[in-house]
Structure formats: C-alpha cells, structure tokens
Chains A and B, each alone.
Chain A
C-alpha cells in the first residue's frame, strides 16, 4: 500500500508494533518494513520536487538498525551512496537524505544526536567521494575517524545496490595497516561500564529518573556487539547482525570460544531488554528494573553480563596477542 504522508506510516507502526514487541526477529523485520515505507514515500516526494532519480544509489542503515538489533524505540543512523559524481546529483541525494530523515522522525525514529544521518553531507556521498572519505579516515587514524569507521562497518543496505556498501567495506579490509587499525578500533571500544560490583551485586544508576535500574545497553549488550564486531573486522566479514557474525565465525573454528554458547547468551539478553524494560521511550527502553527480577532471572542476567565481559576480554587478548606477534 502506498502512503501519502509519514503520519500514516506512524499509524501503521503504532498498529503493528505491539504484536511484534515480544519477538526480536519479527520486531526487526517490522522496523525494516516501516523504514522502507518511509524511504519509498520520501523518494516520491523528492521526485515531485526535483524530478526522477538521477542515478543508481543505495540507502543503508547503521547502528542497531544496521545490526538488526533494534528495540521498540530506536534512533536514526543512516547514509546514502550514489553512483555519479556530479553537482546536481549531490544536491538531489542530500535533499532525499533530508526528506528521509524528516520522514523517519515523523514515523517515530528520533534524530541521531551525533548527526549520523543521510541529511548530513558527511554520510551522503558519491561512491567516489566515499572511497576518498574512507581513505582519509583510515589515514587520519584519529579517535574520531576510527569511530566513524566502526560505525560504517555496521552498515546494512536497506534499499538499492548492495554492492556499494560491500565494496566500501572491502576497501577498509584491504588497507595495508589493517592490524594496526583493528588494534586502534579495540582501543576505541575498550571501555566497559561496570555492571557487577566487588560484592557480586548488579550496579544500577544512582541518580535520575532511572535510579535503581540497570543500563542494559551499555552494560549487557555493547560488550557482545563490540567484541563480535572486532572479530568480524579481523575476519573481513560483510554481514552485520551480531548473531550472523557469530555464525560465520563458528565456521572459522575459534578454538577457545564456544560460539553457540555466546549466541544463546546474546539472544537471551536482547529478549531480556525487550520483555523487562519499560518500552515507553528510547531512553527508558535501555534501563532494566532489576528489582523486579526473580532470584533466578537476576542470576541469569549476571551470567550474561559476565560472559559478555569474558567474550570481550578474550577478543581483546586475541587482538593484542596478534599485534605483539606482528611487532616481533
């Protein structure tokens, strides 16, 4: 069905989301469906204003959308790659990016605070410019540019030519100083928020509206995501969901890491968030009311957190060890 305004898509979202709210996979399929509807409407709106598409392009999502790990509420992280490198096309796609971003906002996806959106020229470029930009980021090797590369690695094509994103990722993977780059990426994501204190208790927020709740995104989920992303980069994987990345890795026989076990822990964690967090808005959806958990659930949560840290630490060791060999 074709929609005539974004509010209709918002209504579609509101109608459907409840049914999908307890199933992680269904929920992310729904998000994709909603976002695609927005893009189609934005395409026709832009076509009305500026004429037909000037050249092939691809629209990709990053962050939790890129990894198919969105919760009920999610913010926007996306970009555009287009084929031709002409001034008119630049204007056209930037306008499209703005339209999509506006549409997604109206459909219930808040803007990205960091400006990682196709409405920002930094994330809306021709294939040639993208090559150039990635080279620059790799060459710069700064905290910020490496952070951009880490964001980009989670890109997943939502609409258009998948080849663009893959080509660009391969460009990153084929850089001469890849080992150093992975090491630098590790340093960028090394910070783990402490989730369990010395007494074995869960560490919750001390102040603010989420006092007494546990930040499950930072404490629970991110160690898995970051660890697995690092191995994915090391192994030149193009796929983005943490679970799929783990699947691919299992084929590569990581001797000391039990892939299936970590897959199971991660999916449980995502379900914990989905079921027990208050999904009224984006922020509240990341805070787990640990006081409501039973003794068993609480133990399960602690195990998931511990296993996440353990996974991260073994990945860290792996990368640091290889690096030290490289330096020998």
Chain B
C-alpha cells in the first residue's frame, strides 16, 4: 500500500482522536463554568449527546454533507460502512471519523446554550434535529462542494461551519429558554452566577488548546510537506495572543485581571484562527488571536447587558470569534497560502475575498439561527416547554433529571444543614 496514504490516514486518525478528546475539554469547561448542583448533569449529557450525534452522523449526517447531490445538500452514502472514498488520499473510515468528530463539537457548542435550565429531553431531541437539519447543510455548502465552496469561501477547519453554526443554535436556545433564575435582578442588573470550579475551566482550556492541533492541523488531511506543523504554529500563536489580549483588556477596563475572561480569550483566539490557520502568515495569526481576545471581552458584556444569559460564553467565544475568524482571511490570506479562494485585502486581493467571507458568515449564521429557532419553538410546544420547573432548577438538574448529585456528599450534607 502507498506509504503516503497510510501516513495520511495515521495523521488524520490522530487528529480525530484529539478532536474527540476536545469533548472532554468541553465537559470541564461547561462544568467548571456552572454551579455544583448541575455538575453531574452537565458532564453526563455531553457524553450522551455525542453518542446521539455520532449515530445520526453515521446514519444521515455524513450523506447529507458529503453525498452526491446538488449545491444545497448531499443525498447519498447514508449509513456509511467503512468503504474507501473516491479521490481521497487517506482511509475513508478515518476521514469519516474525523468529520464525525467535527459534527460532535458543533453540537456540543450548540447545547452549551442550554446550560443549567433545559430539560434532559430537550437536549436529546435537539441533538437529533441539529445533527440532521442544522449542521449538515452548512457543512455541505462549504466543505461538501456546495454553493459557498463554489464561491471560494475560506474556512479551513470550521470557524463558520463548526463554531458559528453551534453558537447560532446556542443563541436561539438562550433566547427561547430565557435567563436562569437569579441571573438578573428586578432593575435589570446582572448577577454573577460564578462557575463552581475555575481549575476545571483552566484545565479545559488546555485540553481544548491541545485538541485544537487535531482540529486545525488535522484538517490538512495529509502529511504532505508536513504543512500541518505550520498550521499548528498559527493555532498556538493565536491562542496565546487571545489569552494575553483578554487579560490586558480586562485589566485595562475593569482594573482586574479576570481569570475566566483570560480563559475565554484563549478559546476565542483558537476559534478565530480555525478558519484562517492555513491561509495566513504567523504574524497575522498573532494579530487575529489578539483581536479575538479583545472582541470576546466586549462581546460577553454585550450579551449580558441584553439579558441573554449565556453561562459558558458560547455566543462570544464561538459566535463572535467565529465571525471574526472567518472574516480575518478576507484581510490576511496570502497569495501563496490561499489554496482556496483569493488572497485577502492586505495581499492585493481587494475586497473580493472579504465579501465572500462576509456573505458566508451572514448566510450560514442566519440559517443556523433561524432554523434552530424554529425547531426549538416547535419543540417547546410539542414538549410542553423546554425548561425544567423553577423548583427543579433550584434543587439542580443533577437531582431533578438524573436522581443523583455530581457531588453527593457535599450537597446532601448541605441539605441536612438547611433542613
């Protein structure tokens, strides 16, 4: 067998493993950013919904994205069974698994908007619907040879496809679910429902950071010329710049170097560089990450002021930074590196690529938001509400949805004290 084929397969398999491990990062991120009484629920449902997402992707998701069809949707290769795929220089199964992992990440991001108040059933049903109706069309448009691919839309590893799509679904969910009890006071001021474990959150960022090498560098789908190393450097630099930028801006504005904000800065840097990691020079990666770190700070404050309660900052980290990352190639993509589309504004490409990127953001963002919003509204009616009762929310979803606490000793002894 061809050595390059085997090495490509091995490299992308490693990428798939790293991306699936990012789910572990999201478990720690969401759990650390939420309260103790919901810890078991938040952690457990993430595994469960990845299970649902995997099965749906195998059954229909892959076929809708990569199947033969038209410029809007694919429609073949359902229930993929491990055969080789024409035109790929790597194992079909490995490619499939890699793509499955991406769909899983987008779904996990979307469900972040449900945190601490949605019924378990809402997660399950929306996991199914998102994996069939929301994610595949957008992934097909950009990666599956759909109409945006024809325009030369640049989204190397998915700032739009994975992150913006997930974030827009999360936005629809946060709006429909409304804020958690106690988040806002009567006069409209917001309370800080602080996450219960900053150590988890920090660790999650490191896990995601490392997993992102699979996400971005793995998206080369090949070991050819070891280009993945360059992509990995850009990824690392953007994350680093995002971290520093968020720390600086929070210190400058609030007079305090806010730890959760710094962590969100790292993630924003990663999300932003996802689209552009293969198309821009290293200095541009630093700039892109740095700007993402600043944007995420203002974005979090923006959403909070508008009474959109986003416990894990999914809208800002994946949405705002996803938009910026997608647009960034329109400025920074170089002639040599732009294997897809045209060079950006700073490299003599004029406004063309920026226009394509903006159109992609607008159409994909609107599609993800509107479709998710409609689906959730229908679900709300059909399921007699998406949200747990106030009582259930107060005792915590660990107990109300699963019957056992993530931290049983601690919370039970607290209950005894209160009794």
Contacts and interface: CB of A to CB of B under 8 A. Distances in A.
B252 interface: yes
A207 B260 CA distance: 14
Interface in A193-211: 193-195, 197-199, 201, 203, 206-211
A212 interface: yes
Closest 9 CB pairs of A and B: A194-B255, A207-B192, A211-B189, A198-B252, A203-B255, A197-B253, A209-B185, A208-B191, A207-B191
20 contacts: A194-B254, A197-B252, A197-B254, A197-B255, A198-B252, A198-B253, A199-B252, A203-B255, A206-B192, A206-B254, A207-B189, A207-B191, A207-B192, A208-B185, A208-B192, A209-B185, A209-B187, A211-B189, A211-B190, A212-B189
Interface residues of B, number: 12
B179 to A, nearest CB: 13
B256 interface: yes
Interface string A203-223: 100111111100000000000
A265 to B, nearest CB: 21
Tell me if B's interface is mostly helix, strand, loop or mixed. Answer: loop
Contacts of B252: 197-199
A210 B189 CA distance: 8
Interface of B: 185, 187, 189-192, 252-256, 301
A209 B256 CA distance: 20
B298 to A, nearest CB: 13
Nearest to A210: B189
A208 B189 CA distance: 6
Contacts of B187: 209
Interface in A157-203: 193-195, 197-199, 201, 203
Nearest to A207: B192
A193 B253 CA distance: 13
A269 B48 CA distance: 57
B236 to A, nearest CB: 28
A201 B249 CA distance: 13
A212 B190 CA distance: 10
Contacts of B191: 207-209
Nearest to A193: B255
A212 B256 CA distance: 16
Nearest to A213: B189
A209 B255 contact: no
A266 B192 CA distance: 32
- Max chain A Cβ within 10 angstroms of own Cβ: one of B187, B253, B301: B253
